[in-house]
Amino acid sequence: MSHRSALKAAASLALSAGMLLGVTTAASAQGGGSSGVRTHGSCTGTSTWALHVKPDNGAIEVELEVDETRNGVRWDVLMGDNNVRVFTGSAVTSAPSGSFTVRRLIADRAGVDHIVARATSRATGEVCRGTANL
């Protein structure tokens, strides 16, 4: 493993263990191109998540969707890119599907962008966590 790969792995581990505790089952994908990368998986309860990351005119569009199937539930959301927090906020599930979507346009950092998104339900404590590499 090269020194650069080891540093990237350590940074990813630090982001996962520090800022984004509550690791759940997550799908991870690598890739790029014009269509970007889509990953999805289950949360710690009955909800599901989907993460779409794609290039956008020199930046990166990050889209996290969480589907809980109940309306009016507030979730706290964090997004990180290569161990840098790029979004902290909240979202509320809404009709008709009881889901929410958070979209952000972020800087395209040098090298592979390791995107981590985490959402925590204020009502139940359920955690959704997804990753994608672009």
Q: By C-alpha distance, which of 75, 27, 33, 83 is closest to 51?
A: 27
Which tens digits make up the pLDDT trace of 10-64? 444 344 433 333 333 333 334 444 589 999 999 999 999 999 999 999 999 999 9
DSSP string, 64-123: EEEE-S-TT-EEEEEEEETTEEEEEEEEE-BTTTTEEEEEEEEE--SS--EEEEEEEETT
Whether residue 111 contacts residue 6, with contact meaning beta carbons closer than 8 Å, is answered with no
**Number of neighbours of residue 97 by Cβ within 10 angstroms:** 13
| Cα 21 versus chain centre, distance | 13
* Average pLDDT of span 103-119: 96
Residue 11 backbone phi and psi in degrees, to 5:
-65, -40
| Band of residue 131 on the pLDDT scale cut at 50, 70, 90 | very high
Domains of the chain with CATH codes: 3-133 (2.60.40.10)
The model carries a pTM of 0.75
| Band of residue 78 on the pLDDT scale cut at 50, 70, 90 | very high
| Band of residue 1 on the pLDDT scale cut at 50, 70, 90 | very low
Whether the predicted pLDDT of 9 surpasses 60: no
